[in-house]
Amino acid sequence: MSTERELATFAGGCFWCMVGPFEQLDGVYSIVSGYTGGHTENPTYEEVCSDTTGHVEAIQIEFDPNKVTYEKLLDVFWMQIDPTDSGGQFNDRGESYQTAIFYHDEKQKQAAEHSKENVEQHGPFTQPIVTPILPAKVFYPAEEHHQDYHKKNKFHYQLYKKGSGREGFINQYWGGQ
């Protein structure tokens, strides 16, 4: 029985919308919504949304690489975002909603770069891919009411996902994957 564990950290705009697609994968142990990439220690949601901390909303995934590869996680990530938008994601605008891949080691960096090149060359987008690939920084878990938001507040979450434009975008570019 495998007990190997690694971390993957992705920023894809609103973290509420990023958890569900990954939790369906066998080998994913946990997904935490939080903040990373900035300079403020222990930021709050309000501070991060003020675009003064340098942080983005992100998720950190603990996974077993023998059951689900980092490359598979990257594939799922790309299918949740608009990687051509440098100003945020969908209706959520600003620095805190920008996309990024935060790598934890050289192997992840290389896989992320290869994955980005693949999306640039073969993906459905005509605009340049602007999602950066950055070294992982300290990850701060978000407040408890943001954890598993899609389960705790199903109705509001569904309205948000549709109303923000994310659901329509995914359907348009990836066929609702």
Residues involved in catalysis:
14
Q: What is the dihedral of CA 171, 10, 37, 29, to 10 degrees?
A: 140
SS3 sequence, 16-58?
A: HHHHHHHHCCCCEEEEEEEEECCCCCCCCHHHHHCCCCCCEEE
C-alpha to C-alpha distance for 132 and 175, rounded to whole angstroms: 25
What tokens were used for 119?
Answer: 């999306």
